[in-house]
Structure 1
Amino acid sequence: MTDRRNFLKSSSLLIGGLWLSPNIAAARARIAPSDQVRVALIGCRNMGFGILKHHLALPDVRCIALCDVDQNVLEEKLGEIEAATGTRPEGFQDFRKVLERQDIDAVIIGTPDHWHCLIAVAACQAGKDVYVEKPMANSIGECDLIQQAGKRFDRVIQVGQQQRSGQAFIESRDLVKSGHLGKIRKVNIWSNFNYGLGNEKVPNSAVPKGVDYGFWLGPAPQRDFNSNRFHGSWRHFWDYGGGLMSDWGVHLLDMAIWVEENPSAPSRVLTYARNVNTENRDRDTFDTMNVLFSKKDFLINYDMNGGLQTGPYEKPYGIAYVGEKGTLVVNRGGYEIYPEWDGTANAPKCEAKKLEGTKESHNLHVANFVDCIKTRKQTVCPPEAGRIAALHAHIPNIAARVGAEELLWDDAKREFVGNKAANALIWPDYREPWVLPKL
Structure 2
Amino acid sequence: MKRRNFIQSTTVFLAGTTLSSVAPLNLFANGLVDKIRFAVIGVNGMGWSNLNALLKDPRAECVALCDVDENVLTKRTAELAKRNIIVSSVSDYQKLLTNKEIDVIVIGTPDHWHCKMMVDALAAGKDVYVEKPAGNSIHECNLMVAAQKKYNKVVQVGQWQRSQQHFKDAMAYVHSGKLGNVRLVKAWAYQGWMKATPIVPDTAVPEGVDYKTWLGPATNRPFNRNRFHFNFRWYWDYAGGLMTDWGVHMIDFALLGMKAETPISIVASGGKFANPDDASETPDTLTAIYQFKDFNLQWEHATGINGGPYSRDHGVAFIGNNGTLVVNRQGWEVIPERESGKDKIERVEFQKSLDNGLEKHTSNFLDVIQSRKLENLNASIDVGSHIAKICQMGNIAYRLGKKIYWDAEKNKFTDSEANKFLAAAYNNGYKMPSV
- Using structure 2 for the length normalisation, give the TM-score: 0.89
Partner of 1:139: 137
- Residue 143 of structure 1: SS of its match in structure 2? helix
Matched, 1:402 2:397: no
Assess if the C-alpha contact under 8 Å between 1:273 and 1:290 holds in 2.
Answer: yes
Paired amino acid for 1:276: F
What is the identity, as a one-letter code, of the residue corresponding to 1:99?
Answer: L
Which residue in the other structure is 1:392 paired with?
390
Give yes or no for contact 1:41–1:67 (8 Å, CA) kept in 2.
yes
The partner residue of 1:353 within 334, 349, 354 is 349
5 Å-filtered alignment, 1:256-335, equals 256-261=254-259, 263-335=260-332
2: CA distance between counterparts of 1:242 and 1:360?
27
Which secondary structure state, in structure 2, belongs to the residue aligned with residue 127 of structure 1?
Answer: coil
Aligned to 2:181: 183
1:42-191 correspondence runs (5 A): 42-84=41-83, 86-191=84-189
- Correspondence 1:252 to 2:250: yes
> What is the SS of the residue equivalent to 1:396?
helix
Q: CA RMSD in A?
A: 1.7
- Distance, in Å, in 2 between the alignment partners of 1:352 and 1:59 is 37
Aligned to 1:19: none
Alignment deviations for residues 383-433 of structure 1 (CA, whole Å, 9 cap, x no partner): 1211221122111111222222x111123322210x222211111111132
The answer to whether the 8 Å contact 1:342/1:349 transfers is: no
Specify the alignment match of 1:369 in structure 2. 365
1:147, CA displacement in angstroms?
Answer: 0.6
| 1:416 lines up with 2:421 in the alignment | no
Q: C-alpha displacement at 1:356, in angstroms? A: 2.2
Query: Deviations for 1:135-194, whole angstroms, at most 9, x for unmatched residues?
Result: 001111001111110110001111111111112211110100112222222211121113
One-letter code aligned to 2:398:
A
Are the aligned partners of 1:113 and 1:138 in contact in 2 as well (CA < 8 Å)?
Answer: yes
Q: Which residue of 2 aligns with 1:218?
A: 216
SS for the counterpart of 1:393 is: helix
- Indicate the SS of the match to 1:200: coil
Letter in 2 for 1:428: A
Give the SS at the match of 1:203: coil
Structure 1 CA distance, aligned partners of 2:193 and 2:152?
Answer: 38
In the aligned structure 1, how far is the partner of 2:44 from the partner of 2:160? 18
Offset of residue 87 of structure 1: 3.4
**Structure 2 CA distance for aligned equivalents of residues 37 and 390 of structure 1:** 28
What SS does structure 2 have at the residue aligned with 1:270?
Answer: strand
Distance 2:392 2:359 in 1: 27
Q: Secondary structure at the match of 2:80?
A: helix
Q: What amino acid is aligned across from residue 107 of structure 2 in structure 1? A: I
Match of 2:38 in 1: 39
Is the contact between residue 289 and residue 304 of structure 1 (CA under 8 Å) also seen in structure 2?
yes
**Relative to structure 1, is the Cα distance of residues 198 and 94 closer, same or farther in structure 2, using a 3 angstrom cutoff?**
farther
Which is further off, 149-158 or 394-403?
394-403
Report the identity percentage.
39
Asked if the contact 1:196–1:244 (Cα under 8 Å) also holds between the matched residues in 2, the reply is no
Cα distance change, pair 197–143 in 1 and its aligned pair in 2 (3 A): farther
The question of whether the paired residues in 1 share the 8 Å contact of 2:154 and 2:369 is answered with yes
Shift of 1:105: 1.1
SS at match of 1:244: helix
State the distance in 2 between where 1:423 and 1:195 align.
35
Tell me if the contact between 1:399 and 1:407 (Cα under 8 Å) persists in the aligned partners: yes
Q: How many residues align?
A: 404
CA gap 1:33/1:88 in 2 versus in 1, 3 angstroms: farther
Question: For residues 79 and 299 of structure 1, what CA distance do their matches in structure 2 show?
Answer: 50
Secondary structure at 1:136 match in 2: coil
Deviations 1:185-216 (A, max 9, x none): 22111211135554111111111110000000
CA contact (8 A) 1:340 1:350 kept: no
Determine the C-alpha separation between the residues in 2 that align with 1:411 and 1:219: 28
Q: TM-score, normalised by structure 1?
A: 0.88
SS at match of 2:207: coil
Instruction: Please give the alpha-carbon distance, in whole angstroms, between the structure 1 residues aligned to 2:409 and 2:253.
Output: 23
Give the stretch that moved more between structures: 136-145 or 164-173: 164-173
After alignment, is 195-204 or 244-253 more displaced?
A: 195-204
Match of 2:338 among 335, 338, 341: 341
Q: Would you say the 8 A contact 2:196–2:275 is kept in 1?
A: no
CA distance in structure 2 between the aligned counterparts of 1:301 and 1:307, rounded to whole angstroms:
20
In 2, Cα distance between equivalents of 1:227 and 1:154: 39
Cα 1:347/1:233, change in 2 over 3 Å: closer
Gaps of at least 5 residues in structure 1 are 1-30
